[in-house]
Amino acid sequence: MGLRSVIAAVALSLFLVSLAWVWAGLWLRLAWLPRGVWPEGTLLALAALTTLLSLARQLPGQNVLLAGTLIVFASGAAESLNAVTGIPLGPCIFTEQAGRQVFYVVPWTVPLLWMVSLLNSRGVARLVLRPWRQMRNYGFWLLGLTVMLAMLLDLGLQPFAIKVMHYWSWLPTRLPTNWYGAPWVSFLGRGVTMLLLMAFVTPMLLNKKPVTPLPEYQPLVVWSAINVLFFTGAVVGRLWAAAVLTGLGTLLTVGLALWESRRPKLTSSPSSS
């Protein structure tokens, strides 16, 4: 095992320990566990670290750092514009529970969450589509599935952030329904923004090596672990629709990723990932 793999394994272990800490405070409601923003902030920071280190095992470090930085700043700019104008995600108000604000009006945790969501969703999508890596339209399928998995994560995040942790709230819109307070237009705006972001940073994440790399399961661990946290919050908050959606979506995705990642490739036409 190389040095990069050892460092990535240590970072993943720290992330899982932090996740267990936050999960215990949420599920067991242990009074002796500290309260405040820092446990969840530490968890998010470790999630970002293990995400970047996992990618750095497959790609040049400068590519990984550049892609992560661009996602953070572009999503921060989009969230800042939205906080001021309500466009493109809808009118949202952040609370102190979400962390100290940067980008003038957006907590530092929000753009970091975008990066963790998108890069790990892409890693999971690569596992699901592994048998089709050599197909001509693989890149488009990868882009679309990445956004779909990130949106599934967001459907679990919104009830968790709004009803359980009180990180932010949404102002009413003209639409008659919403998802636990989050307007449906916010999901549309987020999906389009994610699609544009990933289309822009994908060239930095292409593996130019001619040899097919081994399956990388660390993104699946991070993606599913975050979903487990959202599922737990939905159960604790008795948000049953969110619990069912997050639970079933996570189980189906993990099962499909594990199954497809072990299948042989289906074609031999050139492509890259």
Average pLDDT over residues 28-57: 80
Query: Lowest-pLDDT range, 26-30, 72-76, 161-165, 231-235?
Result: 26-30
Token code pair at residue 16: 């899982």
Average pLDDT over residues 155-171: 95
Residue 161 CA to residue 93 CA, distance in Å, equals 12
pLDDT in tens, 206-263: 987 756 667 899 999 999 999 999 999 999 999 999 999 999 999 999 999 999 888 8
- Provide the H-helix boundaries in the chain: 3-27, 38-56, 61-85, 109-128, 138-159, 184-201, 218-236, 240-260
Closest listed residue to residue 74, CA positions, set 198, 182, 183: 198
pLDDT bracket for residue 49 (50, 70, 90)? very high
CB atoms within 10 A of CB 208: 8
pLDDT at 270 > cutoff 50: no
> Which sign does the torsion angle of CA 29, 30, 32, 37 carry?
negative
Measure CA 202 to chain center: 16
> Which residues have CB under 8 Å from 235's CB, separation 6+?
243
pLDDT at 185 > cutoff 70: yes
Q: What is the pLDDT of residue 266?
A: 65
Is residue 16 left, alpha or beta, with left meaning phi > 0 and alpha meaning psi from -120 to 50? alpha
pLDDT at 36 > cutoff 60: no
Domain boundaries, the chain: 3-260
Q: 65 to each of 88, 237, 271, how far by Cα in Å?
A: 26, 37, 24
Token code pair at residue 135: 């197909």
Token code pair at residue 133: 């890596």
Mean pLDDT of the chain: 89
Residue 170 CA to residue 147 CA, distance in Å, equals 22
pLDDT at 269 > cutoff 60: no
Q: What is the pLDDT of residue 4?
A: 77
> Which residues have CB under 8 Å from 159's CB, separation 6+?
179, 180, 230, 233, 234, 237, 239, 242
Q: What is the pLDDT of residue 210?
A: 59
Percentage, residues of the chain above pLDDT 90:
68
Q: What is the pLDDT of residue 262?
A: 85
Is this structure's pTM higher than 0.85? yes
DSSP state of 214: P
Higher model confidence: residue 50 or residue 265? 50
Residue 258 CA to residue 131 CA, distance in Å, equals 12
Higher model confidence: residue 1 or residue 273? 1
Residue 206 CA to residue 45 CA, distance in Å, equals 25
Average pLDDT over residues 2-17: 89
pLDDT in tens, 109-156: 999 999 999 999 999 999 999 999 888 899 999 999 999 999 999 999
Q: What is the pLDDT of residue 191?
A: 96
pLDDT in tens, 70-91: 999 999 999 999 988 888 898 8
Q: Are 150 and 187 in contact, with CB atoms under 8 Å apart? A: no
